């Protein structure tokens, strides 16, 4: 906007205005109005209920996890009493060694190692346990069929029925034992006695797990699998008809007979 130049109001930089006699003032720019943010709507009763139930579920899940970890065995112990048979679930070399030691100590008449890798032979197991070669040759059966814990339970049941065993000592890692007992109890229908023998893996400190990300991840994963197994066994009547077992076993049903490779047993079956 232009106005007449007033020498009394002149200041530095007004030389051009003094020559022309006019002063141009910059027009103020209009600032667009910012619309006010809409007021937050209060949550309805349904949303509040869902949030409350979600919070309770989260608290229950965490409390259950802490109880699960607290219940794990912190040290190995000798099984209470003897059993007809012993079953060891693969997944750690220490499990096999402990199971063979139990067999040699008279805590069972035969040993089933279930879930053996197809590339693992009897000679390989004997090489890893050279002082127990006699027991491996005479009284150990290898199962190559099971691919998961459900399959381990199925093969254990068949093996027990074949040998007419009614009690079995179970050897597996301490963090894996709760899920193993659920699967075995479901497969055996509670008619047989199960004697747990948890193995404490070297380097695994269950009492100080929160300081180890790998231990925390392992325990959390096993806890979730334990919950799934508990829920699944509430609805299934027999693990051999389990769709979950087939899915976990990569689409291959776990319905084939146990592959017995102990020489004395093979002679009996001919």
Q: From first to last of its 270 residues, what are the pLDDT tens digits of the chain?
A: 555 545 555 555 555 455 555 555 555 555 566 666 666 677 677 777 787 788 888 888 889 888 888 888 877 777 777 899 999 998 766 788 889 999 999 999 999 999 998 888 888 888 888 888 888 888 999 999 888 899 999 999 999 999 999 999 999 998 999 999 999 999 998 777 899 999 887 666 666 777 788 888 889 999 999 999 999 999 888 888 877 766 765 555 444 444 443 333 333 322
DSSP annotation of 122 reads H
DSSP annotation of 53 reads H
Residues in Cβ contact with 135 at an 8 Å cutoff, skipping those fewer than 6 apart:
100, 103, 104, 111
Q: What are phi and psi of 111, to 5 degrees?
A: -125, 130
pLDDT number for residue 163:
95
pLDDT number for residue 14:
53
Q: Can you tell me the distance from the alpha carbon of 228 to that of 224, in angstroms, rounded to the nearest whole number?
A: 6
pLDDT tens, residue by residue, 84-111: 999 999 876 678 888 999 999 999 999 9
Tell me the whole-structure pTM to 2 decimals. 0.73
- What distance, in Å, lies between the first and last C-alpha atoms of the chain? 115
Return the CATH number of 85-269, one of 1.20.58, 3.40.50, 3.50.30, 3.30.420: 3.40.50
Please identify which residue in the block is written with the tokens 């381990």: 152
CB 143 within 8 A of CB 116: yes
pLDDT number for residue 249:
58
pLDDT number for residue 72:
87
DSSP annotation of 254 reads S
């Amino acid at each position: 906007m232009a106005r007449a130049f007033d020498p009394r109001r002149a200041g530095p930089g007004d030389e051009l205005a003094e020559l022309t006699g006019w002063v141009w003032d910059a027009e103020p720019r209009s600032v667009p109005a910012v619309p006010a943010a809409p007021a937050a709507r209060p949550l309805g009763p349904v949303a509040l209920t869902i949030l409350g139930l979600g919070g309770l579920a989260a608290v229950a899940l965490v409390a259950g996890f802490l109880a699960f970890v607290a219940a794990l065995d912190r040290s190995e112990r000798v099984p209470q009493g003897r059993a007809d048979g012993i079953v060891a679930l693969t997944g750690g070399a220490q499990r096999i060694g402990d199971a063979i030691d139990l067999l040699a100590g008279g805590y069972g008449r035969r040993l089933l190692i279930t879930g053996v890798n197809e590339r693992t032979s009897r000679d390989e197991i004997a090489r890893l346990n050279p002082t127990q070669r006699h027991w491996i040759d005479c009284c150990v059966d290898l199962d190559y069929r099971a691919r998961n814990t459900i399959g381990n339970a199925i093969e254990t049941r068949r093996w027990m029925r074949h040998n007419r065993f009614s009690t079995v000592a179970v050897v597996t890692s301490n963090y894996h034992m709760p899920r193993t007992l659920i699967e075995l109890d479901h497969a055996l229908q509670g008619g047989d006695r199960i004697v747990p023998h948890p193995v404490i893996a070297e380097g695994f400190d269950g009492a100080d797990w929160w300081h180890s990300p790998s231990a925390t991840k392992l325990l959390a994963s096993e806890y979730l699998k334990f919950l799934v197994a508990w829920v699944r066994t509430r609805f299934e009547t027999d693990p051999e008809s389990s769709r979950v077992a087939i899915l976990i076993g990569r689409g291959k049903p776990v319905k084939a007979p146990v592959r017995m490779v102990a020489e004395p047993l093979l002679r009996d079956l001919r």
